Amino acid sequence: MLIKTIVDLLDANVLCGKELLENEIHSACGSDMMSDVLAYVKEQAVLLTGLVNPQVIRTAMMMDMRCVVFVRGKNPSEDMIELAAENGLVLLSTAERLYVACGKLYAAGLAGDGEQS
């Protein structure tokens, strides 16, 4: 799934990385616990979270993720946006709740980590 499709499905705002919206995403995970993300995410993915702190960006960088979606209308700080931009991450924000956002992406064909799409 292209990142721009995620933007459309979640009616998301692009906070940084507009030039990367044509990149492909192969899986998704939703979590507010970065330790779970570190333990279970194996593929390049999109991370959906309600947690808004620099650890989210650093975790995404460590896991070679391409996109982070902040749910429930949350927005990261300018420092977080700059860090993400410097490291080639797309940051999105959506008003959707975590459960609904994950469900919409799954229903549109985006697999969870380790699943066949």
- 7-64: per-residue pLDDT in tens? 999 999 999 999 999 999 988 999 999 988 888 776 668 999 999 999 999 999 999 8
37 Cβ contact list (under 8 Å, min separation 6): 29, 31, 47, 59, 63
CA distance 101 to 69: 9
Tens of pLDDT, residue by residue over 53-100, are 999 999 999 998 999 999 999 999 999 999 999 999 999 999 999 999
Q: Record the pTM.
A: 0.92
Please state the CATH superfamily assignment of the domain spanning residues 3-109 in this structure. Answer: HprK N-terminal domain-like (3.40.1390.20)
Pairing of strands 13-16, 111-112: unpaired
- Cα separation of 23 and 66, whole Å? 8
- For the chain, domain boundaries: 3-109
Confidence of residue 113 (pLDDT cuts 50, 70, 90): low
